[in-house]
Structure 1
Amino acid sequence: MLYVYIIIISIIIGLLRNGKLSSLSQISLKRIELIVLACLIQAGLIFLGSKKVKFVLDYSYYMLIFSYIVLLLAVWYNKKLEGIKIIALGIAFNFIVIVVNGGHMPVLLSSLYKAGLNDFALILKEGTYVTHTLITEKTLFKFLADVIPLSPPFPDPSVVSVGDFLMFYGVFSLIQNAMVKKELNPEDRSQNSEDKELNPEA
């Protein structure tokens, strides 16, 4: 849900900058099925993990890692899009902190309270949540963990990481480039330049 707000805010800012909503059609994402697959895996882990499905509990580490590999693969296919490198860096940061902490994204307890997520804090205290865990003294790379609270009146209170912020900015940059600059894919720009050289009267 958080990304929906980021997209909406990005579009509103683009319109305020005299950008065109129709220009978003220039965003030609490749291998969208990989992005969908990664999202489905992570959503499935959360849902089935809450139902205590044994297979998910036993293999959540590998499934979560696999979902991030799929995401990074999707990024590679779209590497020429504006903003995608920032998104890739954000995914990589999250991937690193999850891998070194046993397949869980560490979350700062005090940040959960600041964001008003008391119920989620109680769930993490049980230690059975498949994708997240509380930060402890043994947590590695704490600075990459979910430590930044997005508190009310933010419409979707949450606790996010540095990697998340990089991905937010990457999405914002992607949309701004599409709506305002109308220059999105360097490959397409190069092709257009070649076409003009071949057809100078066009």
Structure 2
Amino acid sequence: MFIDVVVISLIIAIIRGVDIKAAAQYEIRGSYLFALGLLIETVSVLYAKEIGHLRYWLYLSSFAFLMVAVYMNRDNRVFWPVGIGVFLNMVVIALNGGRMPVLLKAARKAGFTELADSLARGGLISHVMITPGTPLWILGDIIYIPKPYPRPDVLSIGDIFICIGLFFLIQDILVKKAGEGSGCSGKKVQDN
């Protein structure tokens, strides 16, 4: 869903009018922390068997890097929903052994039959089936996005917040605002 949001936001930004100069001047503090957090998250999932018990701590550290990066940009309101979403996902994943709880019925409806079957057999490295004893299951992947959306999906409340933030961040970076040379809430790099 995150890729879909990025593509949709890019298309809308193009329609609204992209301002390359403003985009080049847009400042995202700690961008390396965002990249590091996403890299660690990817590695902790792809190489979970190789890293064993360290996976849980690596996975949670990826969220910590993302949260620090969001905090560094706290004066920019478009980062707030991203921060809320990352925090909500981090909490539910931390309380469920490093795995995101998924509503089995929603996964089946979305057409994720292999995922649903794996969940029913005990889960995956990154996901686990919601049961009556799942801590904070309400923050898990429980929101089914049905057709007519071209790619049905299952999202968490945190994912929704992240999607909202990503959409507005891309708009803020790329679209020239009336009377402004850069994003409406982003910081313009100072010319010295």
Structure 2 length as normaliser, TM-score?
0.84
Q: Within 5 Å, give how 1:2-17 maps onto structure 2.
A: 2-16=1-15
Give the CA RMSD over aligned residues: 2.4
Query: Taking CA–CA contacts closer than 8 Å with sequence separation of 6 or more, which of the two structures ends up with the larger relative contact order?
Result: 2
Shift of residue 121 of structure 1? 1.4
Report how many aligned residue pairs link the two structures.
186
Give the 4+ runs in structure 1 shifted more than 6 A. Answer: none
Give the gaps of 5 or more residues in structure 1.
Answer: 193-202
Shift of residue 150 of structure 1? 2.9
Shift of residue 110 of structure 1? 0.6
Which amino acid in structure 2 is aligned with residue 14 of structure 1?
Answer: A
User: Are the equivalent residues in 1 in contact too, given 2:27–2:188 (CA < 8 A)?
Assistant: no
Shift of residue 141 of structure 1? 1.6
The correspondence for 1:63, drawn from 42, 54, 58, is 58
Question: Which residue is 1:200 aligned to?
Answer: none
Return the structure number with greater helix share: 1
SS at match of 2:55: helix
User: Are the equivalent residues in 2 in contact too, given 1:60–1:131 (CA < 8 A)?
Assistant: no
Which amino acid in structure 2 is aligned with residue 42 of structure 1?
Answer: E
Question: Which residue is 2:169 aligned to?
Answer: 174
CA deviation vs aligned residue, 1:22-52 (integer Å, no higher than 9, x gap): 2433432222222222112221222223xx3
Residue 132 (1) aligns with residue 141 (2): no
Question: Which residue is 1:183 aligned to?
Answer: 183
- Counting aligned pairs with the same residue, the percent is 30
Residue 159 (1) aligns with residue 158 (2): no
Question: Which residue is 2:40 aligned to?
Answer: 41
SS at match of 1:133: strand
Structure 1 length as normaliser, TM-score?
0.80
**Pair 166,81 (structure 1): closer, same or farther in 2 beyond 3 Å:** same
**Pair 37,28 (structure 1): closer, same or farther in 2 beyond 3 Å:** same
User: Are the equivalent residues in 2 in contact too, given 1:82–1:174 (CA < 8 A)?
Assistant: no
Shift of residue 102 of structure 1? 2.2
The correspondence for 1:83, drawn from 71, 78, 88, is 78
**Pair 187,99 (structure 1): closer, same or farther in 2 beyond 3 Å:** same
Q: Which stretch of structure 1 is more off in the superposition, 158-167 or 33-42?
A: 33-42
Give the gaps of 5 or more residues in structure 2.
Answer: none
Q: Which stretch of structure 1 is more off in the superposition, 157-166 or 109-118?
A: 157-166
